[in-house]
Amino acid sequence: MTPNSQAHEPMRFLSFQRIFWLGLLCVISTAQATKQIAITFDDAPRPNSSLTSEQRAKALLIALDASGVEQAMFFVTTKHLNEQTKPILDLYQQDGHLIANHSNQHLWLHRTELDTYQQDVLTADQALRDYPHFKPYFRYPYLDEGRDKKVVKKMQKFLQKLGYQNGYVTVDNYDWYLEKLYQDAVKAGDKINLVQMKQLYIDVLWAAIEHSDRIAEQYLGRSPKHVLLLHDNDLAAYFIGDLVMHLKAQGWEIISPLEAYQDPIAQQVPKTLFTGQGRVAALARDAGASPQELVHVAEDEAELQRLFTEYQVATAVGAAMPEWFIAEMNSQVGTWQTSNAQYRSDSEPYTDYAIEWTWGLGENSLDGRLYGLIDGKPSDDFWTYKLFWDAEQRQARLLQFGFGGRVGDGFIRPIGHGQIETIQTHSAPDFPTFTERHLRVLTPDGLLTTSFRQSEAGEWQGRRSYTWIKQPTAED
Protein backbone atom coordinates (compact mmCIF):
# COMPACT_ATOMS: atom_id res chain seq x y z
CA MET A 1 0.00 0.00 0.00
CA THR A 2 1.36 3.42 -0.89
CA PRO A 3 0.72 6.51 1.22
CA ASN A 4 -1.40 7.78 -1.64
CA SER A 5 -3.92 4.99 -1.69
CA GLN A 6 -4.69 5.66 1.97
CA ALA A 7 -5.33 9.29 1.17
CA HIS A 8 -8.03 8.22 -1.25
CA GLU A 9 -10.11 6.21 1.21
CA PRO A 10 -12.18 9.11 2.55
CA MET A 11 -12.73 10.26 -1.03
CA ARG A 12 -14.26 6.98 -2.03
CA PHE A 13 -16.66 7.26 0.90
CA LEU A 14 -17.59 10.79 -0.17
CA SER A 15 -18.21 9.62 -3.70
CA PHE A 16 -20.52 6.94 -2.50
CA GLN A 17 -22.54 9.51 -0.54
CA ARG A 18 -22.53 11.81 -3.50
CA ILE A 19 -23.84 9.14 -5.83
CA PHE A 20 -26.60 8.39 -3.34
CA TRP A 21 -27.64 12.05 -3.15
CA LEU A 22 -27.29 12.50 -6.87
CA GLY A 23 -29.87 9.75 -7.34
CA LEU A 24 -32.36 11.73 -5.26
CA LEU A 25 -31.48 15.11 -6.71
CA CYS A 26 -31.78 13.96 -10.29
CA VAL A 27 -35.47 13.43 -9.78
CA ILE A 28 -36.13 17.02 -8.76
CA SER A 29 -33.33 19.03 -10.38
CA THR A 30 -30.34 18.88 -12.65
CA ALA A 31 -27.88 19.55 -9.84
CA GLN A 32 -24.49 18.09 -10.65
CA ALA A 33 -22.02 16.17 -8.57
CA THR A 34 -18.36 17.02 -8.95
CA LYS A 35 -17.11 15.22 -12.01
CA GLN A 36 -13.91 13.26 -11.68
CA ILE A 37 -11.12 12.36 -14.02
CA ALA A 38 -7.77 10.60 -13.78
CA ILE A 39 -4.76 11.36 -15.96
CA THR A 40 -2.76 8.74 -17.81
CA PHE A 41 0.11 8.94 -20.28
CA ASP A 42 0.81 6.33 -22.93
CA ASP A 43 4.03 5.43 -24.76
CA ALA A 44 6.25 6.57 -21.90
CA PRO A 45 9.10 7.22 -21.92
CA ARG A 46 9.20 8.65 -25.42
CA PRO A 47 12.51 9.02 -27.27
CA ASN A 48 13.97 12.49 -27.82
CA SER A 49 11.92 14.93 -29.90
CA SER A 50 12.21 18.72 -29.83
CA LEU A 51 12.81 18.02 -26.13
CA THR A 52 15.01 15.22 -24.83
CA SER A 53 13.20 12.43 -22.96
CA GLU A 54 14.63 13.72 -19.74
CA GLN A 55 13.71 17.38 -20.33
CA ARG A 56 10.20 16.32 -21.25
CA ALA A 57 9.77 14.08 -18.20
CA LYS A 58 11.04 16.76 -15.84
CA ALA A 59 8.78 19.45 -17.33
CA LEU A 60 5.81 17.11 -17.17
CA LEU A 61 6.44 16.21 -13.53
CA ILE A 62 6.87 19.85 -12.51
CA ALA A 63 3.58 20.74 -14.24
CA LEU A 64 1.72 17.85 -12.59
CA ASP A 65 3.06 18.85 -9.20
CA ALA A 66 2.33 22.56 -9.67
CA SER A 67 -1.25 21.90 -10.76
CA GLY A 68 -1.90 19.58 -7.82
CA VAL A 69 -2.06 16.24 -9.64
CA GLU A 70 -0.94 13.82 -6.95
CA GLN A 71 -1.00 10.68 -9.00
CA ALA A 72 -0.98 9.93 -12.70
CA MET A 73 -0.32 6.62 -14.43
CA PHE A 74 2.40 6.15 -17.03
CA PHE A 75 1.76 3.29 -19.43
CA VAL A 76 5.24 2.25 -20.44
CA THR A 77 6.20 0.88 -23.85
CA THR A 78 9.29 -1.04 -22.79
CA LYS A 79 11.03 -1.02 -26.17
CA HIS A 80 11.82 2.61 -25.33
CA LEU A 81 13.66 1.65 -22.16
CA ASN A 82 17.42 2.01 -22.31
CA GLU A 83 20.21 3.31 -20.12
CA GLN A 84 19.13 6.89 -20.83
CA THR A 85 15.40 6.46 -20.32
CA LYS A 86 15.31 3.99 -17.42
CA PRO A 87 16.09 6.71 -14.85
CA ILE A 88 12.93 8.49 -16.05
CA LEU A 89 10.81 5.72 -14.51
CA ASP A 90 12.52 6.49 -11.21
CA LEU A 91 11.61 10.15 -11.61
CA TYR A 92 7.93 9.18 -12.09
CA GLN A 93 8.05 7.05 -8.96
CA GLN A 94 9.79 9.68 -6.83
CA ASP A 95 6.85 12.00 -7.49
CA GLY A 96 4.32 9.34 -6.47
CA HIS A 97 3.13 8.41 -9.96
CA LEU A 98 2.39 4.91 -11.14
CA ILE A 99 3.87 2.68 -13.81
CA ALA A 100 1.84 0.25 -15.89
CA ASN A 101 2.13 -1.99 -18.94
CA HIS A 102 1.65 -0.71 -22.51
CA SER A 103 3.43 -3.72 -24.07
CA ASN A 104 6.97 -3.99 -25.37
CA GLN A 105 6.63 -3.46 -29.13
CA HIS A 106 3.32 -1.54 -29.27
CA LEU A 107 1.59 -3.92 -31.68
CA TRP A 108 -1.93 -3.97 -33.11
CA LEU A 109 -3.71 -6.94 -31.61
CA HIS A 110 -5.90 -7.55 -34.65
CA ARG A 111 -2.83 -7.64 -36.91
CA THR A 112 -0.68 -9.87 -34.69
CA GLU A 113 -0.63 -13.59 -33.89
CA LEU A 114 -2.07 -14.01 -30.39
CA ASP A 115 1.02 -15.90 -29.15
CA THR A 116 3.36 -13.17 -30.36
CA TYR A 117 1.15 -10.51 -28.82
CA GLN A 118 0.95 -12.23 -25.45
CA GLN A 119 4.70 -12.82 -25.43
CA ASP A 120 5.14 -9.09 -26.03
CA VAL A 121 2.94 -8.27 -23.04
CA LEU A 122 5.02 -10.68 -20.92
CA THR A 123 8.27 -9.07 -22.07
CA ALA A 124 6.99 -5.71 -20.86
CA ASP A 125 5.70 -7.27 -17.65
CA GLN A 126 9.15 -8.67 -16.84
CA ALA A 127 10.77 -5.30 -17.45
CA LEU A 128 8.31 -3.44 -15.22
CA ARG A 129 7.14 -5.77 -12.48
CA ASP A 130 9.92 -4.98 -10.01
CA TYR A 131 9.37 -1.22 -9.97
CA PRO A 132 7.88 -0.34 -6.58
CA HIS A 133 5.18 1.83 -8.19
CA PHE A 134 4.25 -0.73 -10.83
CA LYS A 135 0.54 -1.56 -10.96
CA PRO A 136 -0.75 -4.47 -13.05
CA TYR A 137 -2.84 -2.53 -15.54
CA PHE A 138 -2.54 -3.22 -19.22
CA ARG A 139 -3.42 -0.65 -21.84
CA TYR A 140 -3.93 -2.11 -25.28
CA PRO A 141 -1.78 -0.24 -27.85
CA TYR A 142 -4.05 1.74 -30.20
CA LEU A 143 -6.87 0.72 -27.78
CA ASP A 144 -7.10 -2.33 -30.06
CA GLU A 145 -8.68 -5.05 -27.94
CA GLY A 146 -9.09 -7.35 -30.95
CA ARG A 147 -11.64 -7.59 -33.72
CA ASP A 148 -12.44 -11.26 -33.30
CA LYS A 149 -14.58 -12.33 -30.35
CA LYS A 150 -12.43 -15.38 -29.63
CA VAL A 151 -9.23 -13.32 -29.52
CA VAL A 152 -10.90 -10.70 -27.33
CA LYS A 153 -11.96 -13.39 -24.84
CA LYS A 154 -8.57 -15.13 -24.89
CA MET A 155 -6.78 -11.87 -24.16
CA GLN A 156 -9.15 -11.11 -21.29
CA LYS A 157 -8.44 -14.52 -19.76
CA PHE A 158 -4.71 -14.12 -20.34
CA LEU A 159 -4.61 -10.77 -18.52
CA GLN A 160 -6.76 -12.09 -15.70
CA LYS A 161 -4.38 -15.01 -15.18
CA LEU A 162 -1.45 -12.60 -15.02
CA GLY A 163 -3.33 -10.61 -12.38
CA TYR A 164 -3.85 -7.68 -14.71
CA GLN A 165 -6.79 -5.34 -15.13
CA ASN A 166 -7.69 -3.52 -18.30
CA GLY A 167 -6.18 -0.01 -18.20
CA TYR A 168 -9.04 1.32 -20.31
CA VAL A 169 -9.66 4.98 -21.10
CA THR A 170 -12.97 6.81 -21.11
CA VAL A 171 -11.77 9.83 -23.10
CA ASP A 172 -10.12 9.02 -26.39
CA ASN A 173 -8.56 11.79 -28.49
CA TYR A 174 -5.78 12.40 -30.99
CA ASP A 175 -3.41 14.40 -28.79
CA TRP A 176 -0.67 12.45 -30.63
CA TYR A 177 -1.77 14.02 -33.91
CA LEU A 178 -1.64 17.54 -32.46
CA GLU A 179 1.87 16.61 -31.33
CA LYS A 180 2.75 15.51 -34.87
CA LEU A 181 1.49 18.82 -36.33
CA TYR A 182 3.50 20.67 -33.71
CA GLN A 183 6.71 18.67 -34.29
CA ASP A 184 6.40 19.05 -38.08
CA ALA A 185 6.10 22.82 -37.67
CA VAL A 186 9.14 22.88 -35.38
CA LYS A 187 11.14 20.84 -37.89
CA ALA A 188 10.11 23.16 -40.72
CA GLY A 189 11.55 26.05 -38.70
CA ASP A 190 8.15 27.72 -38.31
CA LYS A 191 7.55 30.40 -35.73
CA ILE A 192 5.30 28.76 -33.13
CA ASN A 193 2.75 30.74 -31.17
CA LEU A 194 2.69 28.75 -27.92
CA VAL A 195 -0.26 30.72 -26.56
CA GLN A 196 -2.35 29.58 -29.52
CA MET A 197 -0.98 26.04 -29.27
CA LYS A 198 -1.98 25.91 -25.61
CA GLN A 199 -5.48 27.14 -26.42
CA LEU A 200 -5.87 24.54 -29.16
CA TYR A 201 -4.63 21.75 -26.89
CA ILE A 202 -7.02 22.71 -24.11
CA ASP A 203 -9.99 23.29 -26.42
CA VAL A 204 -9.57 19.96 -28.23
CA LEU A 205 -9.09 17.92 -25.06
CA TRP A 206 -11.86 19.68 -23.17
CA ALA A 207 -14.23 19.06 -26.09
CA ALA A 208 -13.28 15.36 -26.04
CA ILE A 209 -13.87 15.15 -22.28
CA GLU A 210 -17.24 16.88 -22.50
CA HIS A 211 -18.23 14.69 -25.41
CA SER A 212 -17.46 11.47 -23.54
CA ASP A 213 -19.21 12.74 -20.44
CA ARG A 214 -22.33 13.62 -22.45
CA ILE A 215 -22.35 10.13 -23.97
CA ALA A 216 -21.99 8.64 -20.47
CA GLU A 217 -24.87 10.72 -19.09
CA GLN A 218 -27.02 9.75 -22.05
CA TYR A 219 -26.28 6.02 -22.23
CA LEU A 220 -25.02 5.05 -18.75
CA GLY A 221 -27.24 7.52 -16.93
CA ARG A 222 -24.38 9.03 -14.96
CA SER A 223 -20.92 10.59 -15.14
CA PRO A 224 -18.38 7.87 -14.33
CA LYS A 225 -14.93 8.36 -12.91
CA HIS A 226 -13.17 9.21 -16.12
CA VAL A 227 -9.76 8.13 -17.38
CA LEU A 228 -8.15 10.62 -19.76
CA LEU A 229 -5.82 9.25 -22.43
CA LEU A 230 -2.82 11.44 -23.08
CA HIS A 231 0.60 10.64 -24.47
CA ASP A 232 4.03 11.31 -23.07
CA ASN A 233 4.80 14.10 -25.52
CA ASP A 234 6.08 17.67 -25.67
CA LEU A 235 2.60 19.20 -25.73
CA ALA A 236 1.70 17.37 -22.52
CA ALA A 237 4.93 18.60 -20.94
CA TYR A 238 4.12 22.19 -21.90
CA PHE A 239 0.38 22.27 -21.26
CA ILE A 240 -0.76 19.55 -18.85
CA GLY A 241 -0.77 22.09 -16.02
CA ASP A 242 -2.99 24.45 -18.02
CA LEU A 243 -5.33 21.63 -18.94
CA VAL A 244 -5.66 20.59 -15.30
CA MET A 245 -6.35 24.19 -14.23
CA HIS A 246 -9.00 24.41 -16.93
CA LEU A 247 -10.66 21.19 -15.69
CA LYS A 248 -10.62 22.46 -12.13
CA ALA A 249 -12.13 25.77 -13.22
CA GLN A 250 -14.96 23.78 -14.79
CA GLY A 251 -15.57 22.12 -11.42
CA TRP A 252 -13.84 18.84 -12.17
CA GLU A 253 -11.74 16.97 -9.66
CA ILE A 254 -8.53 15.16 -10.55
CA ILE A 255 -8.37 11.70 -9.01
CA SER A 256 -5.82 8.91 -8.99
CA PRO A 257 -6.18 6.37 -11.81
CA LEU A 258 -6.43 3.72 -9.08
CA GLU A 259 -9.57 5.43 -7.85
CA ALA A 260 -10.94 5.86 -11.37
CA TYR A 261 -10.56 2.12 -11.96
CA GLN A 262 -12.79 1.52 -8.93
CA ASP A 263 -15.74 2.81 -10.94
CA PRO A 264 -18.38 0.14 -11.70
CA ILE A 265 -17.62 0.46 -15.43
CA ALA A 266 -14.28 -1.25 -14.71
CA GLN A 267 -16.29 -4.44 -14.13
CA GLN A 268 -18.58 -3.94 -17.13
CA VAL A 269 -16.82 -5.72 -19.95
CA PRO A 270 -18.25 -4.43 -23.24
CA LYS A 271 -19.94 -6.93 -25.52
CA THR A 272 -19.28 -4.88 -28.63
CA LEU A 273 -16.07 -5.13 -30.64
CA PHE A 274 -16.26 -1.31 -30.91
CA THR A 275 -13.65 -0.70 -28.20
CA GLY A 276 -11.19 1.59 -30.00
CA GLN A 277 -12.86 4.76 -28.66
CA GLY A 278 -12.61 3.74 -25.03
CA ARG A 279 -14.90 2.17 -22.47
CA VAL A 280 -17.68 4.77 -22.29
CA ALA A 281 -18.12 4.66 -26.06
CA ALA A 282 -18.10 0.83 -26.03
CA LEU A 283 -20.72 0.63 -23.28
CA ALA A 284 -22.80 3.27 -25.07
CA ARG A 285 -22.55 1.14 -28.21
CA ASP A 286 -23.83 -1.84 -26.19
CA ALA A 287 -26.68 0.43 -25.08
CA GLY A 288 -27.63 1.19 -28.68
CA ALA A 289 -25.58 4.25 -29.66
CA SER A 290 -24.42 4.42 -33.26
CA PRO A 291 -20.66 4.59 -33.95
CA GLN A 292 -21.15 7.97 -35.67
CA GLU A 293 -22.39 9.67 -32.52
CA LEU A 294 -19.53 8.20 -30.46
CA VAL A 295 -16.57 9.37 -32.48
CA HIS A 296 -15.50 12.91 -31.76
CA VAL A 297 -13.82 15.72 -33.70
CA ALA A 298 -10.82 15.20 -31.43
CA GLU A 299 -10.35 11.88 -33.27
CA ASP A 300 -10.33 13.34 -36.78
CA GLU A 301 -6.95 14.15 -38.31
CA ALA A 302 -8.30 16.43 -41.05
CA GLU A 303 -10.32 18.41 -38.54
CA LEU A 304 -7.32 18.81 -36.23
CA GLN A 305 -5.20 19.93 -39.16
CA ARG A 306 -7.88 22.50 -40.02
CA LEU A 307 -7.96 23.76 -36.42
CA PHE A 308 -4.16 23.93 -36.27
CA THR A 309 -4.32 26.29 -39.26
CA GLU A 310 -7.35 28.19 -37.97
CA TYR A 311 -5.70 28.83 -34.59
CA GLN A 312 -2.62 30.14 -36.44
CA VAL A 313 -0.29 28.12 -34.27
CA ALA A 314 2.56 28.07 -36.78
CA THR A 315 3.79 30.79 -39.10
CA ALA A 316 6.18 29.98 -41.89
CA VAL A 317 9.37 31.98 -41.66
CA GLY A 318 9.99 32.67 -45.32
CA ALA A 319 12.02 35.85 -45.33
CA ALA A 320 15.27 34.17 -46.22
CA MET A 321 15.69 33.29 -49.88
CA PRO A 322 17.85 30.16 -50.21
CA GLU A 323 21.36 30.46 -51.57
CA TRP A 324 20.75 28.08 -54.46
CA PHE A 325 17.92 30.26 -55.75
CA ILE A 326 19.99 33.45 -55.62
CA ALA A 327 22.76 31.62 -57.52
CA GLU A 328 20.19 30.29 -59.99
CA MET A 329 18.82 33.77 -60.77
CA ASN A 330 22.32 35.19 -61.18
CA SER A 331 23.32 32.46 -63.62
CA GLN A 332 20.09 32.74 -65.66
CA VAL A 333 19.93 36.49 -66.15
CA GLY A 334 20.79 37.30 -69.80
CA THR A 335 19.71 35.90 -73.18
CA TRP A 336 20.01 32.24 -74.10
CA GLN A 337 19.60 30.83 -77.59
CA THR A 338 19.21 27.31 -78.97
CA SER A 339 18.93 25.73 -82.38
CA ASN A 340 15.55 24.24 -83.37
CA ALA A 341 16.99 22.35 -86.33
CA GLN A 342 15.97 19.03 -84.82
CA TYR A 343 12.29 19.91 -84.47
CA ARG A 344 11.80 22.44 -87.29
CA SER A 345 8.74 21.80 -89.54
CA ASP A 346 6.24 23.68 -91.74
CA SER A 347 4.06 24.38 -88.72
CA GLU A 348 7.09 25.23 -86.59
CA PRO A 349 9.33 27.18 -88.97
CA TYR A 350 11.71 28.64 -86.40
CA THR A 351 15.39 28.00 -86.90
CA ASP A 352 16.16 28.98 -83.30
CA TYR A 353 14.52 29.86 -80.01
CA ALA A 354 15.65 32.46 -77.52
CA ILE A 355 14.78 33.18 -73.91
CA GLU A 356 15.67 36.46 -72.27
CA TRP A 357 15.79 36.88 -68.48
CA THR A 358 15.95 40.33 -66.89
CA TRP A 359 15.89 41.37 -63.24
CA GLY A 360 12.53 42.20 -61.68
CA LEU A 361 12.09 44.99 -59.13
CA GLY A 362 14.87 45.08 -56.54
CA GLU A 363 16.71 42.22 -58.27
CA ASN A 364 14.71 39.71 -56.18
CA SER A 365 12.97 38.03 -59.10
CA LEU A 366 13.39 37.47 -62.83
CA ASP A 367 11.15 38.42 -65.74
CA GLY A 368 11.50 36.31 -68.84
CA ARG A 369 10.24 36.03 -72.40
CA LEU A 370 10.52 33.30 -75.00
CA TYR A 371 10.43 33.94 -78.74
CA GLY A 372 11.39 32.24 -81.99
CA LEU A 373 13.88 33.28 -84.66
CA ILE A 374 13.85 32.65 -88.36
CA ASP A 375 17.34 33.17 -89.70
CA GLY A 376 18.12 35.68 -86.98
CA LYS A 377 14.83 37.60 -87.22
CA PRO A 378 12.90 37.49 -83.93
CA SER A 379 9.18 36.69 -83.72
CA ASP A 380 6.71 38.08 -81.20
CA ASP A 381 6.90 36.59 -77.70
CA PHE A 382 5.32 33.14 -77.16
CA TRP A 383 5.57 33.15 -73.41
CA THR A 384 6.31 35.64 -70.66
CA TYR A 385 7.65 34.39 -67.30
CA LYS A 386 7.94 35.39 -63.69
CA LEU A 387 10.44 33.52 -61.53
CA PHE A 388 10.33 34.48 -57.84
CA TRP A 389 10.68 33.28 -54.28
CA ASP A 390 7.30 32.63 -52.67
CA ALA A 391 7.99 33.33 -49.01
CA GLU A 392 4.70 31.89 -47.81
CA GLN A 393 5.01 28.60 -49.69
CA ARG A 394 8.79 28.61 -49.26
CA GLN A 395 9.18 27.63 -52.88
CA ALA A 396 10.84 29.13 -55.93
CA ARG A 397 7.81 29.65 -58.15
CA LEU A 398 7.71 29.86 -61.92
CA LEU A 399 4.64 31.37 -63.56
CA GLN A 400 4.26 31.72 -67.31
CA PHE A 401 1.62 33.28 -69.52
CA GLY A 402 0.90 32.59 -73.17
CA PHE A 403 -1.68 33.07 -75.92
CA GLY A 404 -5.35 32.35 -75.36
CA GLY A 405 -5.19 32.62 -71.59
CA ARG A 406 -2.65 29.83 -71.23
CA VAL A 407 -1.03 29.75 -67.80
CA GLY A 408 1.74 27.53 -66.46
CA ASP A 409 1.99 27.53 -62.67
CA GLY A 410 4.58 25.61 -60.69
CA PHE A 411 7.89 25.65 -58.91
CA ILE A 412 11.56 25.00 -59.47
CA ARG A 413 13.95 23.23 -57.14
CA PRO A 414 17.45 21.75 -57.10
CA ILE A 415 17.49 17.94 -57.20
CA GLY A 416 21.21 17.28 -56.92
CA HIS A 417 24.12 16.92 -59.38
CA GLY A 418 23.61 20.53 -60.45
CA GLN A 419 20.19 19.72 -61.87
CA ILE A 420 17.22 22.06 -61.53
CA GLU A 421 13.73 20.61 -61.82
CA THR A 422 10.66 22.58 -62.85
CA ILE A 423 7.16 21.17 -62.44
CA GLN A 424 4.24 23.16 -63.75
CA THR A 425 0.56 22.64 -64.31
CA HIS A 426 -0.59 24.16 -67.57
CA SER A 427 -4.15 25.27 -68.00
CA ALA A 428 -6.13 27.33 -70.47
CA PRO A 429 -9.81 28.00 -71.15
CA ASP A 430 -11.33 25.12 -73.14
CA PHE A 431 -8.12 23.14 -73.02
CA PRO A 432 -7.28 20.04 -70.98
CA THR A 433 -4.93 20.67 -68.07
CA PHE A 434 -1.58 18.90 -68.15
CA THR A 435 1.54 18.75 -66.05
CA GLU A 436 4.94 19.44 -67.51
CA ARG A 437 8.37 18.88 -66.09
CA HIS A 438 11.71 20.34 -67.17
CA LEU A 439 15.17 19.33 -66.13
CA ARG A 440 18.11 21.58 -66.76
CA VAL A 441 21.77 21.16 -66.10
CA LEU A 442 24.79 23.19 -67.12
CA THR A 443 27.14 21.13 -69.33
CA PRO A 444 30.40 22.12 -71.09
CA ASP A 445 28.31 22.57 -74.29
CA GLY A 446 25.76 24.87 -72.70
CA LEU A 447 22.54 24.63 -70.69
CA LEU A 448 20.90 21.31 -71.49
CA THR A 449 17.11 21.28 -70.98
CA THR A 450 14.73 18.35 -71.37
CA SER A 451 10.97 18.54 -71.21
CA PHE A 452 8.65 15.78 -69.97
CA ARG A 453 4.87 15.33 -70.04
CA GLN A 454 3.03 13.21 -67.56
CA SER A 455 1.31 10.19 -69.09
CA GLU A 456 -2.15 8.99 -68.02
CA ALA A 457 -0.35 6.46 -65.84
CA GLY A 458 1.54 9.30 -64.14
CA GLU A 459 4.94 8.54 -65.71
CA TRP A 460 7.22 11.26 -67.04
CA GLN A 461 7.75 10.88 -70.78
CA GLY A 462 10.66 12.78 -72.33
CA ARG A 463 9.74 15.11 -75.17
CA ARG A 464 12.38 17.53 -76.34
CA SER A 465 15.95 18.41 -75.46
CA TYR A 466 17.67 21.69 -76.28
CA THR A 467 21.15 22.99 -75.59
CA TRP A 468 21.06 26.71 -74.85
CA ILE A 469 24.04 29.04 -75.30
CA LYS A 470 24.24 32.26 -73.36
CA GLN A 471 24.55 35.24 -75.75
CA PRO A 472 27.17 37.90 -75.17
CA THR A 473 25.55 41.15 -74.01
CA ALA A 474 26.14 44.51 -75.72
CA GLU A 475 28.55 45.53 -72.94
CA ASP A 476 30.59 42.33 -73.31
Interface ranges with Zn ion (CB under 5 A):
42-43, 141
Instruction: Output the smallest distance, CB 182 to Zn ion, in A.
Output: 18
Name the residue whose CB lies closest to Zn ion.
Answer: 42
Measured CA distances, 71 to 2, 7, 140, 208, 258 (Å): 11, 11, 21, 22, 9
Identify the DSSP state of 472.
Answer: P
Q: CA-to-CA distance for 93 and 90, rounded, in angstroms?
A: 5
Q: CA-to-CA distance for 267 and 136, rounded, in angstroms?
A: 16
Instruction: Output the smallest distance, CB 103 to Zn ion, in A.
Output: 8
Nearest to Zn ion of 15, 103 (CB atom)? 103
Nearest to Zn ion of 47, 322 (CB atom)? 47
Long-range contacts (CB closer than 8 Å, 24 or more residues apart) made by 78-83? 78/103, 78/104, 78/123, 78/124, 78/127, 78/128, 79/104, 79/105, 79/106, 80/43, 80/44, 80/45, 80/46, 80/47, 81/45, 81/127
Q: How many CA atoms lie within 13 A of 113 on its CB side?
A: 3
Nearest to Zn ion of 167, 410 (CB atom)? 167
What are the φ and ψ backbone dihedral angles of 363, each rounded to 5 degrees?
55, 35
**Single-letter code of the amino acid located at 161:** K
Instruction: Output the smallest distance, CB 229 to Zn ion, in A.
Output: 9
Identify the DSSP state of 288.
Answer: T
Q: CA-to-CA distance for 38 and 279, rounded, in angstroms?
A: 14
Nearest to Zn ion of 42, 263 (CB atom)? 42
Q: Is the peptide bond before 444 cis (omega within 30 degrees of 0)?
A: no
Spatial CA neighbour of 273 closest among 153, 169, 111: 153
Nearest to Zn ion of 40, 67 (CB atom)? 40
Q: CA-to-CA distance for 122 and 137, rounded, in angstroms?
A: 13
Number of H helices, E strands in the chain: 14, 19
Instruction: Output the smallest distance, CB 141 to Zn ion, in A.
Output: 5
Q: CA-to-CA distance for 392 and 408, rounded, in angstroms?
A: 19
Nearest to Zn ion of 40, 340 (CB atom)? 40
Nearest to Zn ion of 48, 364 (CB atom)? 48
User: Are 227 and 170 spatial neighbours (Cβ–Cβ below 8 Å)?
Assistant: yes
Instruction: Output the smallest distance, CB 106 to Zn ion, in A.
Output: 6
Instruction: Output the smallest distance, CB 39 to Zn ion, in A.
Output: 15
Spatial CA neighbour of 19 closest among 266, 253, 282, 224: 224
Instruction: Output the smallest distance, CB 112 to Zn ion, in A.
Output: 14
Instruction: Output the smallest distance, CB 138 to Zn ion, in A.
Output: 12
Instruction: Output the smallest distance, CB 179 to Zn ion, in A.
Output: 12
Q: CA-to-CA distance for 234 and 198, rounded, in angstroms?
A: 12
User: How many CB atoms within 10 Å of residue 308?
Assistant: 22
Burial label, 309 (beta-carbon count in 10 A; 0-12, 13-18, 19+): exposed
Nearest to Zn ion of 141, 276 (CB atom)? 141
Nearest to Zn ion of 229, 244 (CB atom)? 229
DSSP alpha helices (H): ranges in 53-99? 53-66, 86-94
Nearest to Zn ion of 141, 146 (CB atom)? 141
Nearest to Zn ion of 108, 434 (CB atom)? 108
